[in-house]
Chain A
Amino acid sequence: MVKIKDGLVLDVEGLRMRYGATDVLHDVTFQARPGEVLALLGPNGAGKTTTIEVLEGFRARSAGRVEVLGEDPARADESWRARVGVVLQSWRDHGKWRVRELLAHLGSCYTGYTEPWDADELVAAVGLTAQANQKIRTLSGGQRRRLDVAIGIVGRPELLFLDEPTVGFDPEARREFHGLVRALGDTTVLLTTHDLHEAESLADRIVVLDGGRIIADGTADELAKLIVGEDEVRWTHDGRRFTRSTTESTRFAFDLFREHGDEITELEVRRSSLEDTYIALVRRAEETSR
């Protein structure tokens, strides 16, 4: 097994992607450590899919250094491929196959490289036991997605890629899917999403990509601090409701009480949300690039 240098699962430095005369990725740099769940967050067209496809080894880059599990995905061999899982957005492939049959077949391709999942255990782990012998084309959307995850992890990968995993999901299916990802344990995960709540709920760390550039990189809390968003303070005084936005909500509340004492009622402080931060970040990045 190749030793991972500096304990990094993903090491991307100065990644550039150019189609014709347009750059879709400029100098993208980030890392991921073992076991980390990293979200690549950004609006549509930010370059998330291009980035993940370069890391998956499905797309050649224009410039930059990329190491995934210690190897360059553009030149990596089949033993590297066996250590990486990709959850693809299925459409109608393998429709005639049965769930268990396909998982057993794909698992058998990993023999000699990794310890693939036992097909029955895997079917149970993703909650498809009742559908194990069903033809894949007869699965519902949510069931099919669970099968996609099962296919992605059948070889017990050290690193799992999820590209826009919950696009088109209803809230129920989304919650179910998030539960599956959280149950992955030690696996390092890189997921792309344009949904901030998904990034916040799944990821240890969020890398924000916009216009092909990384504009922020940190935990949800760090991102919120990075841009001081304005908190909202509401209170009632003399039977009237007041609302004020401020960056210094604690100080403001203290001053409010000092001035009016117990005449202040129904005090509410709403902390600036990550969503506000994200929107502010993207807006600021777009203004500077103009």
Chain B
Amino acid sequence: MTTTALRAGWDRGVVELRQSFTNGADLWGHFFWPLLMVGVTVFLRDRTFAGFQLGALVLPSILGMNASMAMVSMSQQLTADREDGTLLRARATPNGLVVHLVGKIISVSGGLVVDLAIFLVPALLLVPGLAVDAASWPTLAWVLALGLAAALPIGAVLGSVFTSTRSQGLLTLPILGLIGISGVFYPVTALPEWVQGVAQVFPVYWMGLGTRSALLPDSAAVVEIGESWRHLETVGVLSAWTVLGLLVAPIVLKRMARRESGSTVAGRREKALQRVG
């Protein structure tokens, strides 16, 4: 039965992934941000910080930031699925919640990998100062894999806690703030120390650090905290978030799913229709 559920979940993820690349609105979402970010890196490529080209510093950071934003898409999609009754359908189907969750993990991470490629390929061609060699790709792969493992369960928790599409909007602000202090668009060492302390608690900073370590020359580590890529710490913090997420997410998800019934979905529908009307 578990194999049935995993296979159905995989199929579901593949179908959802295909859907998100065959309709206008989703395609726009896939291309708009990555291409905007390419523009940003090109714009920054001639500026320098501590002797390094800022464009080169920013490019891998954006990659890391985008990967950690899988958290946001996971959270938003779960909320949307709850609001429109998709989750209730899952509840009415044998192993439906497992199937749904596996499907989401496949479609969100698959979509992310494509988004990263849409950004990375043109950016690599346009931005000088990177050190891409054979060793870059394995590092990039483990940083992204571990980062996703950390981000997706947190996303699932956020998606369960924030019950409406509206309250999901409230999440955007703290997340933008977090990106602002995580050394994505400017090296984190340029910020006050207490801000650096806060940034190092969250995965966004570590994802950016990991991707920078993969794509920049080793000499670029001098602009980082401790003048080091700190791989051990990166693995430590991202793993801690992964474990925490995997412990909390099933509990919160189950609790959320237990609350779903025909009347709760009908109630939300009425509310939403009132909002429109």
- A residues sitting closer than 8 Å to B (CB atoms) are 49-50, 52-53, 56, 58-59, 78-79, 81-82, 85-86, 88-97, 101, 105-106, 108-113, 151, 155, 163
Contact = CB atoms under 8 A, between A and B. Distances in A.
Q: What 6 A-B pairs come out closest when comparing CB atoms?
A: A58-B261, A82-B94, A93-B86, A86-B92, A93-B85, A78-B94
A90 B84 CA distance: 8
Interface string B1-21: 100110110011001100100
B8 A105 contact: yes
A122 to B, nearest CB: 15
Interface size class of chain B, counting residues whose CB lies under 8 Å from the partner chain = 20 to 34
A120 B88 CA distance: 24
A110 B99 CA distance: 11
Contact of A109 (B4, B263, B265): B4
A155 B93 CA distance: 9
A106 B4 contact: no
A111 B8 CA distance: 10
Contacts of A94: 86, 89
B243 to A, nearest CB: 27
Interface in B1-54: 1, 4-5, 7-8, 11-12, 15-16, 19, 23
A97 B14 CA distance: 12
A51 to B, nearest CB: 12
B230 interface: no
A95 B262 CA distance: 18
B129 interface: no
A56 to B, nearest CB: 7
Contact of B84 (A92, A113, A163): A92
Contacts of B92: 56, 81, 85-86, 88
Nearest to B87: A93
Contact of A105 (B11, B23, B84): B11
B4 A112 contact: yes
Nearest to B19: A96
B67 to A, nearest CB: 25
A109 B90 CA distance: 10
B19 A93 contact: no
B139 interface: no
B169 to A, nearest CB: 19
A106 B89 CA distance: 9
B94 A108 contact: no
Contacts of A90: 85
14 contacts: A53-B263, A58-B260, A58-B261, A59-B261, A78-B95, A79-B94, A88-B265, A89-B266, A95-B84, A108-B11, A109-B96, A110-B93, A111-B8, A151-B89
A94 B96 CA distance: 14
A88 B85 contact: yes
B88 A88 contact: yes
Contacts of A101: 15
B269 interface: yes
